Amino acid sequence: RVGPTLPVLSDIATGAVQSPTPTVERFVNHFLRELNFGQGVLLSRSTINDQYIALAKTVRKYMMADWLDTGAKRREGGTKTVGYLSAEYLLGRQLSNALLATDLQDIAADALRECGIDIADLRAQEIEPGLGNGGLGRLAACFIDSLATMDVPCIGYGIRYEYGIFRQTFEDNRQVEVPDSWLSLGSPWEFPHPERQVRVDFGGRTEQYTDDEGRERSRWIPGWNVLGIPYHQMVPGFRNHTVNTLRLWSAKATQAFDLQIFNSGDYAEAVRAQTFAENISKVLYPEDSTPQGKELRLQQQYFFVACSLHDFIENTLPQDFDLHHLPERIVFQLNDTHPVIAIPELMRILVDIKGFDWDDAWDITRQCFAYTCHTLLPEALEVWSVELMGKLLPRHLEIIYRINKNFLEEVAEAFAGDEMRIRRMSIISEHPERSVRMAYLATIGSSKVNGVAELHSQLLRDKVLPDFSGYWPDKFTNVTNGVTPRRFVFLANRKLSDLVTDAIGDGWVTDLEQFKKLEPFADDPNFRQQFAQVKQANKERLYNLLKARDGLDLPRDAMLDVMVKRLHEYKRQSLKLLHIVSMYDGIISGRVSTESVVPRTFVFGAKAAPGYHIAKETIFLINSVAQTINADERVKNVMSVAFPANYNVTLAEKLIPAADLSEQISLAGKEASGTGNMKFALNGALTIGTDDGANVEIRELVGDDNFFLFGMDEPQVEELRAKGYDPESYYQSNENLRATIDLLASGHFTGGDRRLAAQFVDNLRTQDPFMALADYQSYLDAQARVDEAYRDSDAWTRMAILNVARTGFFSSDRSMRDYRERIWNV
């Protein structure tokens, strides 16, 4: 099936792939060849899209030899691989990243100029693959970038959604979701391999039988199946000739799609059956941190996990590999609970298919998995009803029951039949319906469990999984998140990169702790001036983009205050909105003069899950406030609010380098880590933030003087909650807060219609589940300190430089080192 066995080198055609030193001339040649013989068009007749595709295919050719070599090296080396299992990869645009990794940026730009093309137009043509919701998906993308750059063997496994995260538009200030057809203009970065299809079974029933050796066994008689087609993408390391693989699975109907209900023999029904199968990889679920227990979602999870395990065991390991040694060759990292069904799936493969004893299989399985938890919100912990699991994956449910039974016997023995504890620790919960707690299954079936920032890992141990961390203290560890400096500094902030490289050399790109060497430059007035100029240039670039993209006219010289992340109550965009309305109210009521305020531009970027009602109301109100404020002559030149639609990775790359102030204002104890916070600090924005997630570590590193802390800490939140939280009391006792909320409620921002703000206001006054009102005064006080600091622009710049210099820790390369040392042993 795989072709003749040849020595590796003769596998590769000489000259054709392993290109000699790239030159502009050769690049032009390759590009035109792709255009003429790939796209089938003449340069003079080609569209921008033709040119973009031809360019992408040219660049990928330059990575091809390295990709083949890396694959061959991995197969020969017999080393341990990281199988990163993630339902989401929020990759961002690929072209710029590939040009950067291969160091072809200048050559490509020159070559295209010779063809009369501006490469910027082609970069802009790419639709980013939005195969993720937010932080979790972007983290996976950063991690695979770092692993390639560090030459760690890794296969990223996931789903090739036909539609990624929706495109957000606004109509009458309300969010409207448009399908994201990212594949519609072609997808030059992926390599489909239909011949490597994998069959995945679903449904049916199990059957008990006695095997040849007289052992009682169970077998799965599935009800229907689909095919998984792998699509491969290159994951290039930064200029190190390593190219790893991202393998995304697409669902296809089997030829004889034997689902009984569809088996009516009529053609229209047969086509419907196809659609049914192919639905599995059709669309990314747009809920971030609040999974819905939808059947299709469980199908997606099992689908990609079954394909991936099969792929690794049957196609990646050498033939006849003794699976007793599996843990020496693979560690599957579970990116949250989404792929946790992999644990019973590996048990099924070992026990049912390979004939292993249960105990041997269990011993192997636990060594092969490690689990990362990304939340503390109880509503974000996935559970699947036993009924659904039994219907879709009856054999897996049996396996889960047996895992649970064995585990609870162990607990009963260790704790002398402590009934309450046994019930608490059971994988199966009984209320509100019998269901499978996936985080428990993950914890029991993994060798390590980690949180994503120090505070989060601590709370995970103490609050979410206390029984488990007490039972297995060594299983629990922390790996603080990180972000890739290639995309989020080098690519996104070319001007800062050049300035930094002039000062300290370019070693920082793969060793971000070298940013420390910038510290003395904070006291160099000349460097400060250049740093400030970079920031200003990034702002100009952003404002030009927002003008062209959204028709927004923003002043050039105001402080740029940015809050970009998914719209979620716990993240508290509402608190940011209260600050804006308070500032506005202060001015229009005459309490504050326009001369005395520090001019600010507020930018939001946020998508709300389509079914998340209060989040969508918040978007509506932010847009309404923006519209009113931007049109009000009384605050002209001192306040503007921008909410560009469709915040995504591409926009982040423009917004973050331009920001002065980074808003990280979640209620303490709710944001597991945050990664936007790291991107901003690394690009020289100062943070106003709570003691939450990785903010805690950012503040520790940059120092209290270079960070605007406000709000309750996690113990204080707990204390207030225990005492009984009453948001109305804050409304009653704080005059400014009352005026602000009253103004919001008055209809001032909603064309006089009070009803349109009522839900938002009532929610704050009566529920306020994330205590925005309790932190309001502290937040406004911190904002006043921000204003004060910003008035001294040179001192501000000094603080910004120190933020850059001291946050090199947050490189995802460091995260990957931590995973290697604490979790993977690769």
Point out which residues bind ligand GPU (CB under 6 A). Answer: 133-136, 139, 288-289, 336, 374-375, 380, 452, 481, 671-675, 693
The helix or strand, by DSSP H or E, that contains position 89, with its residue range, turns out to be strand 89-90
Nearest approach, Cβ of residue 677 and ligand GPU (Å):
8
* Closest to ligand GPU by CB, 31 or 166: 166
- Give yes or no: 210 in active site: no
d(CA 565, CA 674): 9
Cβ-based nearer residue to ligand GPU, 480 or 706: 480
Residue 390 or 669 with smaller CB distance to ligand GPU = 669
The tokens for 793 are 């622009």
In the bound state with ligand GPU, the residue whose beta carbon lies nearer, of 27 and 166, is 166
Q: Specify whether the CB–CB gap between 483 and 679 falls below 8 A.
A: yes
Q: Which of 328, 288, 335 is nearest to 130 (CA)?
A: 288
Q: Let me know: does 665 contact 693? Beta carbons within 8 Å.
A: no
Residue type, 421: R
Cβ nearer to ligand GPU, comparing 345 with 671? 671
Task: Please confirm, yes or no, whether 337 is among the known catalytic residues.
Answer: no
CB of 326 to ligand GPU, least distance (A): 27
Tokens coding 1: 């099936």
- Torsional class of 186: left (φ above 0), alpha (ψ -120 to 50), beta (otherwise): left
Residue 644, preceding peptide bond in cis (omega within 30° of 0): no
For the question of residue 675 being annotated catalytic, the response is: yes
Asked whether 816 and 450 are in contact (CB, 8 A), the reply is no
- 475 catalytic? Reply is no
Instruction: Given the residues 74, 93, 167, 566, select the one marked as catalytic.
Output: 566
Rounded CA separation 522/507 (Å): 19
Three-state secondary structure call for residue 21: coil
The DSSP call for residue 599 is: P
Closer by beta carbon to ligand GPU, 374 or else 487: 374
> Which residue among the candidates 338, 421, 456, 571 is catalytic per the annotation?
571
Catalytic residue among 57, 348, 565, 572: 565
767 backbone dihedrals φ, ψ, rounded to 5°: -110, -60
Residue of 30, 607, 679, 806 with catalytic role: 679
User: CB nearest ligand GPU: which residue?
Assistant: 135
Instruction: Name the helix (H) or strand (E) containing 654.
Output: helix 649-655
- What's the closest the beta carbon of residue 289 comes to ligand GPU, in angstroms? 4
- Spatial neighbors of 336 by CB under 8 A, at least 6 apart, are 87, 136, 372, 373, 374, 375, 382
Residue 291: CB minimum distance to ligand GPU, A: 7
The nearer residue to ligand GPU, 374 or 539, going by C-beta atoms, is 374
To the nearest whole angstrom, how small is the minimum distance from the Cβ of residue 382 to ligand GPU?
9
3-state secondary structure of 814: helix
Nearer CB in complex with ligand GPU: 87/651? 87
| Least gap, CB of 301 to ligand GPU (angstroms) | 13
Cα–Cα dist 296/276, whole Å: 10
Please, what is the minimum distance in Å from the beta carbon of residue 465 to ligand GPU?
A: 14
Closest distance of CB 603 from ligand GPU, Å: 20
Active site residue 566: yes
Query: How many Cβ atoms from other residues are within 10 Å of residue 37's Cβ?
Result: 10
Q: Please identify which of the residues 374, 395, 539, 806 carries the catalytic annotation.
A: 374
Tokens (6 digits) for 478: 């922390």
Cα gap 67→61, rounded to integer Å: 10
Distance of CA 423 to the CA centre of its chain: 34
DSSP state letters, 276-345: HHHGGGTB----SS-----HHHHHHHHHHHHHHHHIIIIIISPTT--GGGHHHHEEEEEESSTTTTHHHH
Residues catalogued as catalytic: 374, 565-566, 571, 675, 679
